[in-house]
Amino acid sequence: MGATVKVRFTQARVFVGLVALAFLAGVGTVSFFCGDSYALEGLNVRQVTPQQLADAMHSDGFYSNYRENTLLVRGSIASVAGEDGRLILEFTTSGTFKALCQLQRKRSKIQVGERITVVSEAYTAEREPSAILLTGCTVLGGP
């Protein structure tokens, strides 16, 4: 009789454990899909000029306006500089606050005066003393 009670008790524990595991798996699955849709809801791509970015960073409004956006930036190149194995592009802007873009991959074909479009994630932007630096930029089109 004691062995029968132990077997039933063990079976009940296994059953409760399996129910709990199934419940947790279900909650995890629902959470995954809800989180995935939430993350994609706010995905926005915004076309901006280098001047708009420089002005927004200079006035401390950049992160509140652009933080959750992918940026398409189109502008003319004022200068090209290499720094620590990275290529930094400076876009032409009208003020003293500059708009800079650090390329993910070096490209030797970019020249001063050329008009290009880059894509960058706004949340990776850094504030420099007199510029906004977009990091991880990718040039669209061209070689």
pLDDT at 14 over 90: no
Tokens of 94: 């009208």
Mean pLDDT of 101-123: 87
- What mean pLDDT, rounded, does the chain reach? 84
pLDDT at position 94, please?
94
DSSP states of 102-117: EESS--TT--TT-EEE
Residue-wise pLDDT tens digits, 22-45 = 888 877 777 776 665 566 566 789
Q: How far apart are CA 63 and CA 81, in angstroms?
A: 26
Residue type at 75? G
Q: How far apart are CA 104 and CA 56, in angstroms?
A: 23
Residue type at 37? S
Gyration radius (Cα) of the chain, Å: 26
The DSSP 8-state label assigned to residue 104 in this structure reads S
Place of tokens 């994609």: 40
Contact yes or no for 132/84 (Cβ under 8 A): no
* pTM, two decimal places: 0.68
pLDDT at 46 over 70: yes
The CATH number of 44-139, from 1.10.3720.10, 2.60.40.420, 1.20.1050.10, 2.40.50.140, is 2.40.50.140
Residue with the bigger pLDDT between 20 and 55: it is 55
**Residue boundaries of the structural domains of the chain:** 1-41, 44-139
- Residue 95: helix, strand or coil by DSSP? coil
Residue-wise pLDDT tens digits, 71-82 = 999 999 999 988
Q: Of 79, 86, 139, whose CA–CA distance to 112 is shortest? A: 79
